[in-house]
Amino acid sequence: MDSLSLSLILCLVLLTPLPSSARQTLNQGSSLSAENPDDVIVSPEGTFTAGFYPLGTNAYAFAIWFSQPTCFLGHNCTLVWMANRDHPVNGRRSKLLLENTGDLVLTDAAQFNVWTTGTATESKLTTYLQLAESGNLFLRDSEGTILWQSFDSPTDTLLPQQPLSRLTQLVSSRGKGNYSSGFYRFFFDYDNVLRILFDGHETSSDYWPYPWLSSWDADRSTYNSSRLAMINLFGNFSSSDNLNFRSADYGRSRIQRRLSLDYDGNLRMYSRERNETWVVSWQAISQPCRIHGICGENSLCSYAPNTGRICSCLEGYKQRDPSDWSYGCEPEFNVLPDSTDFTFIHLRHVEFFGDDFRLFSNKTIKECEAECLQRVNCKGFQHNFRNHNGFQFHDCYPKAQLRNGQQTSSFDGDFYVKVPKSYNTSDKKTEHLQRTLDCPQNNTILLKRSYVKSQENEIVKFMLWFACALGGLEFISIFLVWLFFYRASHDKNASRDGYVFAATGFKRFTFDELKKATRNFHEEIGRGGGGTVYKGTLSDGRVIAVKRLNDSNQGEAEFLAEVNTIGKLNHMNLIEMWGFCADKKNRLLVYEYMEHGSLADMLSSASNELDWQKKYDIALGTARGLAYLHDECLEWELHCDVKPQNILLDTAYNPKVSDFGLSKLLDRGKLYNSSFSKIRGTRGYMAPEWVLNQPITSKVDVYSYGIVVLEMVTGQSSIRGIQLVDRADEEPMSKSNHEKQKMEVLVRVALDCVQEDRDARPTMTQVVERLLDSSQ
Ligand SMILES: *[C@@H]1O[C@H](CO)[C@@H](O)[C@H](O)[C@H]1NC(C)=O
Ligand SMILES: *[C@@H]1O[C@H](CO)[C@@H](O)[C@H](O)[C@H]1NC(C)=O
Ligand SMILES: *[C@@H]1O[C@H](CO)[C@@H](O)[C@H](O)[C@H]1NC(C)=O
Ligand SMILES: *[C@@H]1O[C@H](CO)[C@@H](O)[C@H](O)[C@H]1NC(C)=O
Ligand SMILES: *[C@@H]1O[C@H](CO)[C@@H](O)[C@H](O)[C@H]1NC(C)=O
Ligand SMILES: *[C@@H]1O[C@H](CO)[C@@H](O)[C@H](O)[C@H]1NC(C)=O
Ligand SMILES: *[C@@H]1O[C@H](CO)[C@@H](O)[C@H](O)[C@H]1NC(C)=O
Ligand SMILES: *[C@@H]1O[C@H](CO)[C@@H](O)[C@H](O)[C@H]1NC(C)=O
């Protein structure tokens, strides 16, 4: 053995940390180092890990994250807690040390203490740090007393069994990939009611429950001052203010769940099967623009599923900080005190919340303008029509500030922005800024601290590095040869899949891949909805359903945009799209494969596998999926072809709505005209609006849903249409009392859904609520 190899070995022995099998306990006097990724504490069954988590280049936080399924640090791990979210530490020589005094201290580069539990005591009891299977990191002494626990200081996430109390709150993070404290807080207010508050640069206001509702109207109680809330292991959230809700997968305990106050100001419950991805199983706010502060002042928020939420400045205003919408927009004009002449810019369907001087009832636009002009600080006014006891009049709200602005077609009111007459809007229009909120963040954190150079024994260090350098030379040459061969064999595929969505697993496939997966489109499992569906198997063993679209006139860019939208819709009762293919003229969609086929197959099969409970659950799940489509997407995303063939069942008979969004892929453009120019849907399930040429709203899906439920209840196909509706009342009710009740509820809901007057039909959300109320 030559001397080079010897020095290499010496080097490896000295510099490589011993392979530590992941520990479960940190004892008094020991520490975890940010330099060693294996220096972590894991929970007994490995669900959670606590350790140093990379936030960016050379910046770390001591954090707890889900470690099952396996994830990559800094990429796709889900963090649940952080000690130092606002003070990241250096990657070199930073440590978490359990001192002999019992204090747990996080030091940055061995120089600054950035965080401590403050648990130092005089007592002689030894202490140790452990991570419970619930995700709670706790410091305990040898008598078993808990001195400190992470459950008492949540960041933005609440785990099952973790109480939210009068002393704790959730604080959102600042943005995508930026974990420092953001603007939103979820907490018990002084009146004992749980609220979400926007606490911004200059202003704060709460928006959930909606501020125009009294606590009473929001079903919250102000009387119980214990201020305690918790999610249990089955997905039930209950709070002392009477806020109770359940995750969509309520009842199953072997599922991972978390309640997170996201950086966009929405509170969401997420659920995950052991080896799958997170899905939203409940959320507080279905209309993203209702969240306060999201676009800053003097701006408008609008939402469409394909673009997401968009902020834009009002005319006459420009963005204050182009990288951060929370600062809003500032005027482009100078307002001279008193002497300036003003005019007003009219905006339709625009609403600003709050900051009114006062409400003036029954004012014409001219009168309202006069009110605003009288006030130097008036920025504009809201003018809404109101019908009160048969009297029709307009309300006028002059505004001191323009905050929480949103533009939605469902709001029927006008806004008038005050600008100086000298300001010429017509030549500024093109500068109207529009940018989505979710632009990728630059993950570089600059640690604003100056470090003192360490005084270690420089000579020992020099010798060590010298030895390494010699050995390293030899090692490097071996490595380079290996790398050369490795790259040569891997480069062939690397350039192709530039469109991989690593985080969600949503992927662009090549046509050849799908041809191979389906064995040249060999096994057909369905037809309709603009294409043919084939069964296939991916190279990683996942079974897929591939839909090959017939009509492939759509341009690639449009197709990608639509597919991207559909791919983002994520709900346990919507079929999951795993990817797509756009290759020359070929357009294919790749879905998860559903074991039990469609509801239609199930209803027509003789084996009668669906008992009442299953039918009820299918009706409920389908309603949930559709409600999510309607709410989340604000009516942009109608299904328009709800029928048993499009309701698929997984192994546990959970329904998943399929074929949503497809209408857009097939005849885009027509959809965006104010009314549909072409009748879509399937005979027997179509609402009267189609025939009567009335506006098409989400209520057409409600109608079709009603027919599907009637079909499930009566076991009759819908082709007979109205007869089915008539028959439902007289359907004989055998079975037990309990089943009878459930069936009655189903029939009643379904009959309401198929009313001819679309305004009399409930919304899908109301359907879900009614079915849930009766499901206990
Ligand atoms: C993280 O990404 C890796 C590779 O893409 C994947 O194997 C793993 O399952 C992902 N983990 C999670 C939790 O998403
Ligand atoms: C779920 O919450 C509701 C409302 O507090 C409560 O009545 C019910 O008993 C809870 N269920 C379980 C299983 O805890
Ligand atoms: C107040 O809320 C707590 C926690 O939810 C509950 O245990 C208690 O029974 C409630 N008290 C009253 C008077 O309702
Ligand atoms: C999840 O894991 C189980 C067992 O570990 C396996 O049988 C199942 O196929 C996996 N499911 C997915 C979607 O990977
Ligand atoms: C509204 O104002 C008009 C005149 O300004 C008046 O004639 C009318 O009675 C008012 N309506 C109500 C409901 O007060
Ligand atoms: C505003 O600008 C347009 C085009 O730049 C011009 O035609 C118009 O006369 C201007 N109006 C005023 C009031 O200056
Ligand atoms: C990220 O920020 C760093 C430092 O400000 C800069 O050098 C780098 O170019 C940025 N990267 C991107 C992709 O913007
Ligand atoms: C996160 O946001 C804070 C507050 O705006 C900012 O100071 C910090 O630089 C951001 N960090 C990253 C990584 O963008």
**707 or 492, greater pLDDT:** 707
By alpha-carbon position, which residue is closest to atom 3 of ligand 5? 362
Higher pLDDT, 352 or 627: 352
The CA distances from residue 80 to 26, 46, 261, 275, in Å, are: 20, 15, 11, 18
Cα separation, 47 vs 143, whole angstroms: 26
Q: Is residue 337 very low, low, confident or very high in pLDDT (cuts 50, 70, 90)?
A: low
For ligand 5, the distance from its centroid to the CA atom of residue 360, given in whole angstroms, is 12
Q: Is 364 in the pocket of ligand 7 (CB under 6 A)?
A: no
Average pLDDT value over all residues in the chain: 79
Q: Which of 178, 443, 444 to mutate to test the pocket of ligand 7 (most atoms within 8 A of CB)?
A: 444
User: pLDDT tens digits, residue range 97-141?
Assistant: 999 999 999 998 888 899 999 999 888 889 999 999 999 999 999
Residue 480 has pLDDT above 90, yes or no: no
- The reported pLDDT for the residue numbered 21 is 60
Q: What is the pLDDT of residues 58-94, one digit of tens each?
A: 889 999 999 988 899 888 899 999 999 999 998 888 9
Share of the chain above pLDDT 70, in %: 76
Dump pLDDT digits (tens) for 662-701.
665 554 333 333 334 345 567 778 777 777 767 777 788 8
Does 444 contact ligand 7 (Cβ within 6 A)?
Answer: yes
Predicted confidence at residue 65, as pLDDT, reads 96
No. of helices (H) and no. of strands (E), the chain:
13, 44
Is residue 2 pLDDT above 70, yes or no?
no
Angstrom distance (rounded) from CA 678 to CA 411: 27
Domain 495-592 fold: Phosphorylase Kinase; domain 1 (3.30.200)
- The bridge status of strand 350-352 relative to strand 405-407 is antiparallel
Give yes or no for residue 437 having a pLDDT over 60: no
Alpha-carbon gap, residue 418 to 107, rounded angstroms:
53
Q: Which residue has the higher pLDDT, 280 or 607?
A: 280
Alpha carbon of residue 606 to chain centroid: 41
- Percent of the chain residues topping a pLDDT of 90: 29
**Ligand 1: residues within 6 Å at CB?**
69-72, 76, 502
Q: Does domain 599-672+681-775 have CATH number 1.10.510.10?
A: yes
Query: What pLDDT shows up at residue 671?
Result: 38
Higher pLDDT, 269 or 773: 269
* CATH code for residues 23-153: 2.90.10.10
Q: Residue 273 Cα, ligand 4 centroid: separation in angstroms?
A: 9
Q: Do strands 194-199 and 48-56 pair parallel, antiparallel, or not at all (unpaired)?
A: unpaired
More confident residue, 353 or 410: 353
> For the whole prediction, is pTM greater than 0.85?
no
Nearest CA to ligand 1 atom 2: 71
Q: Which of 225, 230, 236, 240 to probe ligand 3 with, by most ligand atoms within 8 A of CB?
A: 240
Confidence of residue 717 (pLDDT cuts 50, 70, 90): low
pLDDT at 290 over 90: no
**Residue 607 is inside which H or E element, if any?**
none
Q: Range with the lowest mean pLDDT among 433-437, 654-658, 675-679?
A: 433-437
Domain pair 23-153 / 164-286, same fold: yes
Q: How far is the CA of 708 from the centre of ligand 8 (A)?
A: 50
Higher pLDDT, 158 or 248: 158
The span from the CA of 300 to the CA of 306, in Å, is 18
Choice between 416 and 286, residue whose per-residue pLDDT is larger: 416
Q: How far apart are CA 324 and CA 430, in angstroms?
A: 21
- Confidence at 502, pLDDT banded by 50, 70, 90: very low
Q: Which ligand is nearest to the CA of 540?
A: 4
Higher pLDDT, 406 or 5: 406
Instruction: Pick the more confident residue, 240 or 485.
Output: 240
Annotated catalytic, 249? no
Distance 575 CA to ligand 2 centre (A): 29
Please name the CATH architecture into which domain 299-436 falls. 3-Layer(bba) Sandwich (3.50)
DSSP 768: H
Of 210-224, 541-555, 587-601, the poorest mean pLDDT is in: 541-555
Q: Give the architecture-level CATH label for domain 164-286.
A: Orthogonal Prism (2.90)
Instruction: Check pocket membership of 70 for ligand 8, CB cut-off 6 A.
Output: no
Query: Does the pLDDT at position 443 exceed 50?
Result: no
Q: Measured from the CB, is residue 238 less than 6 Å from ligand 2?
A: yes
> Which residue in the list 108, 241, 264, 641 is annotated as catalytic?
641
- The domain segmentation of the chain, as residue ranges, is 23-153, 164-286, 299-436, 495-592, 599-672+681-775
- What are residue 475's phi and psi, to 5 degrees? -60, -45
Report strand pairing: 434-436 vs 507-508.
unpaired
Residue 185 has pLDDT above 50, yes or no: yes
- The pLDDT value recorded for residue 578 is 84
Question: Is 547 labelled as part of a ligand binding site?
Answer: yes
Q: Which of 194, 224, 236, 244 to mutate to test the pocket of ligand 2 (most atoms within 8 A of CB)?
A: 236
Nearest-ligand number for the alpha carbon of 229 = 3
Is the confidence at residue 611, as pLDDT, over 80?
Answer: yes
